Amino acid sequence: MNEMTTIAKSTPKDWETDQEVRWCPGCGDYAILKAVQRTMPEIGTAPENTVFISGIGCSSRFPYYMETYGFHTIHGRAPAFATGLKLANPNLDIWIVTGDGDGLSIGGNHTMHLIRRNLDCQIMLFNNEIYGLTKGQYSPTSRVGTTSPSTPYGSVDRPAQPAAFALGAGARFVARGFDVSKELPNVLKAAHAHKGAAFIEIFQNCIVYNKDVFEDFAAPKGAEDRQLWLKHGEPMLFAKGTKGIALDNEELHLKVVDVVDGDWQSAGVIVHDVTNRSVAHMLVEMRFGEFPMALGVLYDDPRPTFETDVVRQNKAAAEGKTADLQSLLKKGQTWTVTESGPEL
Amino acid sequence: MATAVEDRADDRQSPLSDAVVVRFAGDSGDGMQLTGGQFTLSSALAGNDFATFPDFPAEIRAPQGTLFGVSAFQINFGSSAIETAGDAPDVLVAMNPAALKTNVLQLKQGGLIIADEGEFNDRNLAKAKYDANPLDDGSLAKWQLLKLNISQLTMDAVKPFGLGNKEALRCKNMWTLGLALWMFDRDRQPLIDWLEAKFAKDPNLAAANVAALNAGHAYGETAELAGPLKQHHVDPAPVAPGLYRTLTGAEGIALGLVAGAQLAKLPMFFGGYPITPASAILHHLSRLKEYDVTTFQAEDEIAAICSAIGASYGGSLGVTSSSGPGIALKGEAMGLAIMTELPLVIVNSQRGGPSTGLPTKTEQSDLYQAVYGRNGDAPMPVIAARSPGDAFECAIEAVRIAVQYMTPVMLLTDGYIANAAEPWAVPDLAAYEAFPVQFLTEAPENGFKPYSRDEKLKRPWVKPGTPGLLHRIGGIEKEVGTGHINYEASNHQAMTDIRKAKIDGIKVPDQIVELGAGGGKLAVVGWGSTFGPIHQAVRRKRAEGKDVSHVHIRHIWPLPANLGGLLRNYDRVIVPEMNTGQLKTVLRDQYLVDARPVNKVSGQPFTIAEIEAAIEEALA
């Protein structure tokens, strides 16, 4: 996020490029693109101060479709480019677009370090639990047993959990949404309002290689029973207020409780506090099925950002010193040679 | 340091007093690098020209007394131009049996061994795998041997200061330095000043070290030893008046990069990851914040280069640095910098390879990697520094090419240049022509195209944040002019041709002949840190009347336009390299000349004698 200068209000159209969008018809990426283009006018940032940076994969084509500055880099490394760019110009508003393979497999290391350093940027990780661009191999977020060209007998390794990974890496902002959700722009706005590395896991439907893998919670029918939209200061209720999330005080884990006649207090339902890191750790680990899918802003508690601290230290170290390179060259062990010989 | 082009009088028969090679060798804990460094300064103050060669183990604290734990520092100083750290030492100071064993065979026949006999006890002899004490068994008969109980003499000298045994013995190196200063008639005062400043917080320790230094000096002065120990005076070398300092290659690179960024009027961003022997550049730059330098220790080599490219995209001068293994990891990102045509300087401080190889030893075996080592047709300029002082100039040149042609540039140095020190005439920065970068800030009249080109085929540099020039770049093939994604066959052909033509068209200075004539019987063609031994060898052979010339290439890619013609003027061409023949291959490929390889990959620099032998063989 950045300090904003007021500019004439733009429209979503202003954020579209003239480039032909090249995702498969019906891909969840279209919905995410629309959501981002709808969000941008509302957050009031200027297109010329906005940079979308991506790695490699279907999601990483994103920058070509945003009328901003954009850099489609190499596989997994978008966070590293973003770090150099932000340090070179801390005023830029940087959005990283990555996927489950790009951001958690080949680029997992950079994702971790970007988050722990807390570089001010938004990281949108499109999670479709599959490698789309390379034609359907299982990914680090694929569920055990996923059959794919590279795992014809089903995958045996256990999947990474993006939100838990981010929180474990030290994230100060973790949110979840999904491609066709109407709430997605609000999640993006909250991420942008957070000063620091804002990690957003966006479930995205790959209609070719992993169709409807999120239907169990994303399908509109019965959604209220399967989705828990978290709002700061509000009780964690779902199923039209008839169920809630409470803490099992003896076992110290979360549990689903029934709420009778709206009396969530006596059912022990937790009020969502986005700054509660302990609860955030439990929310990101909450298994869908036994629990609803936790969506929205799971955690948001800013800390000083990397680029701010770097700039501050650079300034402090340079304080009172003059950048006189000629005198720097003369530093150290020097001597002068005159006609009569050398002297100190 | 000197790069004189005129032939000198035959300095082959130099008496000991004209040029001397001294090697200090001891345990890694004995402070040999420090001793060598201070002896270097005293040589500078005595007006000698010099070159040094620190040779230390990869292990940080190797077990005491072991063969692999030996750390050595060699200095060649003299009253005429010195360009190498010397072939065989005239004097070997061996602080323990392991140091003697690992170094004595290189000592000149009749050379002087000064050994600390206090360390030649059974335990240390066993660690050095000596069956008998070499100081007593006559096995060192072909050299002059001076046995001194330096340990005991030091203990005696520092007794009044009440140091513990261990601390007292740490003063051994100063005792040894004191003796060396006497041997070569050097002034002690600068060293005493240095010790007092270094141990300002502990005046007692300072006084003990000074006492050890004085005691070593006094020993030489008063012992009146018959035999090998006698004083030598080495006359000052004739050097141009001016201000001098000692400079290592790592310092030369760091300062040159800062100078280059200033000449380009750009802030610098340096993304690095610790690796031997390149880390020193990161260390130097991280202290220079007031020069608009941001340093970033990245999580890995890939992040280091990617962050630098990101910073270049943002309008800074992006720089990254590493050694062979790290450069390998950066390969894909270099391709992206080539594709997106962003300026970038990549410094490779070469070391012995492949794989982890010899981290602290020197080699020139990354030339193929620099010129050819990327996927696709990925041309990139390559510059090689020949010495610490030259590294300063090459760094400026790398920055200039990077920003004037919007391209990554590889700057090659090596472990030898990085660590070695030489006297350096401090240049006057006002003499360097600035090359300020012009960012594109407004759309031209005929519209903005990110991949439009000027007469040098350079595309415009636009900083994100610039209104009206929004565009996207990336690693997918670009459409000519617009930079849009384009997979068409003819477009890829056109863009590949443009990328090649841009790099081929970089203006580099014509190749000069360092020594000798622009044609004749034999050219010895070198690059990088082999400059010293080649230059001295060619000078000696010319003094013998041999028709041989020295050509030393700085611009490895693109090569100087006149180089092919020049090489064809010689009957024979030999190419000494610390690899198995990499520049040789490039020269054969580019010019169809019969360049013959002269190779050495022992982790040690060429000796002058080795090059001389190669010249003899080529002329035979």
| Strand spans (E) along chain A | 50-54, 69-72, 93-99, 121-127, 173-178, 197-203, 227-230, 237-238, 243-248, 253-258, 293-300, 334-338, 341-343
Residue in B closest to A344 by C-alpha: B45
* Residue B483: CA count within 13 A, CB half-sphere: 22
pLDDT at B11 over 60: no
- Cα distances (Å, whole numbers) of residue B188 to B114, B218, B229, B279: 20, 11, 19, 33
**B309 Cβ partners below 8 Å, 6+ apart?**
A73, A81, A84, B318, B333, B336, B337, B340, B342, B344
How confident is the model over A92-132, as pLDDT tens digits?
999 999 999 999 999 999 999 999 999 999 999 999 999 99
Task: Determine whether the interchain pair B47/A328 forms a contact, defined as Cβ–Cβ distance below 8 Å.
Answer: no
- By the 8 A CB rule, do A206 and A57 touch? no
Higher-scoring residue by pLDDT: B363, B62: B363
- By the 8 A CB rule, do B427 and B245 touch? no
| Residue A112, token pair as written in the block | 């971790």
pLDDT tier at B2, thresholds 50, 70, 90: very low
Q: By the CB < 8 Å criterion, does A85 face chain B?
A: yes
| Residue A164, token pair as written in the block | 């838990």
**Cross-strand bridge partners of residue A99:** A126
Distance CA B282, CA B326 (A): 14
Burial classification of residue B290, based on how many CB atoms lie within 10 Å of its CB (0-12 exposed, 13-18 middle, 19 or more buried): middle
Contacts of B47 in chain A (CB under 8 A): 337, 341-342
For chain A, how big is the Rg over CA atoms in Å? Answer: 24
**Residue-level pLDDT at B241:** 87
Residue in B closest to A334 by C-alpha: B245
**Residue-level pLDDT at B464:** 98
Could you say which of B291, B306, B471 has the minimum Cβ distance to residue A84? B306
Mean of pLDDT values over B372-395: 97
Rounded to the nearest angstrom, the gap between the alpha carbon of residue B232 and the centroid of all alpha carbons in its chain is: 29
Q: By the CB < 8 Å criterion, does B238 face chain A?
A: no
Low-confidence winner among A137-151, B4-18, B155-169 (lowest mean pLDDT): B4-18
How confident is the model over B221-257, as pLDDT tens digits?
877 554 555 667 777 777 788 898 889 999 999 999 9
How confident is the model over A234-267, as pLDDT tens digits?
999 999 999 999 999 999 999 999 999 999 999 9
Give the residue from A81, A110, A311, A326 with the most B CB atoms within 10 Å of its CB, the best one to mutate. A81
* Range B366-371, long-range pairs (CB < 8 A, 24+ positions): B366/B324, B366/B327, B366/B412, B367/B412, B367/B527, B367/B556, B367/B577, B367/B579, B367/B582, B367/B583, B367/B586, B368/B582, B368/B585, B369/B324, B369/B327, B369/B328, B370/B327, B370/B410, B370/B412, B370/B556, B370/B557, B371/B556, B371/B557, B371/B586
Interface of B with A in 317-346 (CB under 8 A): 318, 332-333, 335-336, 340
Give the residue from B448, B470, B476, B487 with the most A CB atoms within 10 Å of its CB, the best one to mutate. B470
- By the 8 A CB rule, do B548 and B521 touch? yes
Q: By the CB < 8 Å criterion, does B39 face chain A?
A: no
pLDDT at B12 over 50: no
Task: Determine whether the interchain pair B244/A47 forms a contact, defined as Cβ–Cβ distance below 8 Å.
Answer: no
- By the 8 A CB rule, do B90 and B111 touch? yes
Task: Determine whether the interchain pair B429/A329 forms a contact, defined as Cβ–Cβ distance below 8 Å.
Answer: yes
**Residue-level pLDDT at A56:** 97
pLDDT at A6 over 60: no
Mean of pLDDT values over B555-561: 98
**A195 Cβ partners below 8 Å, 6+ apart?**
A1, A120, A302, A305
CB atoms within 10 A of CB A305: 21
Burial classification of residue B588, based on how many CB atoms lie within 10 Å of its CB (0-12 exposed, 13-18 middle, 19 or more buried): middle
Provide the residue type at A60 as one letter. Answer: S
Low-confidence winner among A73-77, A197-201, B459-463, B529-533 (lowest mean pLDDT): B529-533
pLDDT at B14 over 50: no
Task: Determine whether the interchain pair A325/B262 forms a contact, defined as Cβ–Cβ distance below 8 Å.
Answer: yes
3-class secondary structure, A172: coil
| Residue B488, token pair as written in the block | 């068409």
pLDDT at B17 over 50: no
How confident is the model over B274-291, as pLDDT tens digits?
999 999 999 999 999 999
Contacts of B289 in chain A (CB under 8 A): 313-315, 317-318
- By the 8 A CB rule, do A39 and B441 touch? no
Could you say which of B45, B242, B258 has the minimum Cβ distance to residue A325? B258
Q: Which helix (H) or strand (E) is A185 found in, with range?
A: helix A184-193
Q: By the CB < 8 Å criterion, does B473 face chain A?
A: yes
How close, in Å, is residue A131 to chain B by CA atoms?
Answer: 19
Task: Determine whether the interchain pair A84/B255 forms a contact, defined as Cβ–Cβ distance below 8 Å.
Answer: no
Looking at residue B580, what DSSP letter applies? S
Low-confidence winner among A190-199, B98-107, B500-509 (lowest mean pLDDT): B98-107
Q: By the CB < 8 Å criterion, does B245 face chain A?
A: yes
Distance CA B61, CA A41 (A): 60
3-class secondary structure, A66: strand
pLDDT at B28 over 60: yes
pLDDT at B48 over 90: no
Mean of pLDDT values over B326-334: 98
Mean of pLDDT values over B149-154: 94
pLDDT at B10 over 50: no
Task: Determine whether the interchain pair A77/B333 forms a contact, defined as Cβ–Cβ distance below 8 Å.
Answer: yes
ipTM surpassing 0.90, yes or no?
yes
**Residue-level pLDDT at B422:** 85
- By the 8 A CB rule, do B35 and B68 touch? no
- Cα distances (Å, whole numbers) of residue B300 to A162, B215, B306: 22, 49, 10
Burial classification of residue B60, based on how many CB atoms lie within 10 Å of its CB (0-12 exposed, 13-18 middle, 19 or more buried): exposed
The share of chain A scoring above pLDDT 90, in percent, equals 93
Q: Going by DSSP bridges, is the β-strand pair B70-78/B49-55 parallel, antiparallel, or unpaired? A: antiparallel
Q: Going by DSSP bridges, is the β-strand pair B293-297/B268-272 parallel, antiparallel, or unpaired? A: parallel
Task: Determine whether the interchain pair B289/A326 forms a contact, defined as Cβ–Cβ distance below 8 Å.
Answer: no
Q: Which helix (H) or strand (E) is B599 found in, with range?
A: strand B595-599
Output the pTM of the full model: 0.89
Distance CA B157, CA B155 (A): 5
The shares of helix, strand and coil residues in chain A, as percent rounded to the nearest 5, are: 35, 25, 45
CA quadruple B443, B445, B451, B456: dihedral sign: negative
**Residue-level pLDDT at B30:** 87
How close, in Å, is residue A101 to chain B by CA atoms?
Answer: 17
Backbone angles phi, psi at B558, to 5 degrees: -70, 155
pLDDT at B449 over 60: yes
Distance CA A335, CA A343 (A): 6
Alpha helices in A215-304 (DSSP H): 215-218, 223-226, 264-267, 277-285
pLDDT at B121 over 80: yes
Task: Determine whether the interchain pair B470/A89 forms a contact, defined as Cβ–Cβ distance below 8 Å.
Answer: no
Q: By the CB < 8 Å criterion, does A110 face chain B?
A: yes
CA quadruple B198, B202, B206, B212: dihedral sign: negative
CA quadruple A191, A197, A201, A207: dihedral sign: positive
- By the 8 A CB rule, do A100 and A162 touch? yes
Task: Report the interhelical angle of B32-45 vs B172-183 (nearest 10°).
Answer: 30
Q: By the CB < 8 Å criterion, does A93 face chain B?
A: no
Q: Whole-number mean pLDDT of chain B? A: 92
For chain B, how big is the Rg over CA atoms in Å? Answer: 26
Q: By the CB < 8 Å criterion, does B468 face chain A?
A: yes
How close, in Å, is residue A53 to chain B by CA atoms?
Answer: 9
Contacts of B296 in chain A (CB under 8 A): 83-84, 87, 310
Q: Going by DSSP bridges, is the β-strand pair B91-94/B19-27 parallel, antiparallel, or unpaired? A: parallel
Q: By the CB < 8 Å criterion, does A221 face chain B?
A: no
